[in-house]
Amino acid sequence: QAQLVESGGDLVRPGDSLRLSCAPSGDTSNYYVMAWFRQAPGKAREFVAAFISRGGARISNSESVKGRFSVSRDRNTLYLQMNNLQFADTAVYYCAADRRSDARAYYYNAASYTYWGQGTQVTVSS
């Protein structure tokens, strides 16, 4: 059974940077698409970024993310670089992945993903 393990979450101040990592354990067969979602208290899970095999990086169009976040992938490890963190970035960040090629078309939709990590907490506080 494939598992995804996130790391890198922390308590930071506004303006700080963090890099989250997501690494698979168990079955490490290649994933067609890997992504980051986040969920703040009382809010729905939100797409943040994805990396698509033979397609490259995709970042959410949300104004809350654009220009500050970037995503990269090294083999099956996914990274999320977050710069100039704001209070609104406080959330649990989840890694998701799927091996089906058709998951690439709907990379922004949480329902496209079979595998999920447990999440890593990012808290931005002064």
Which residues have a Cβ under 8 Å from the Cβ of 35 and sit 6 or more positions away?
47, 48, 49, 50, 51, 78, 95, 96, 97, 107, 113
pLDDT beyond 80 at 27: no
Which residues have a Cβ under 8 Å from the Cβ of 11 and sit 6 or more positions away?
123, 125
Give the pLDDT band of residue 53 (cuts 50, 70, 90).
Answer: confident
pLDDT beyond 80 at 50: yes
Between the CA of residue 15 and those of 26, 86, 125, what are the distances in Å? 36, 7, 10
Across 7-11, 24-28, 95-99, 100-104, least confident range:
24-28
pLDDT beyond 90 at 71: yes
- Identify the bridge partners of residue 94 per DSSP, sorted by sequence position: 37
Give the pLDDT band of residue 2 (cuts 50, 70, 90).
Answer: low
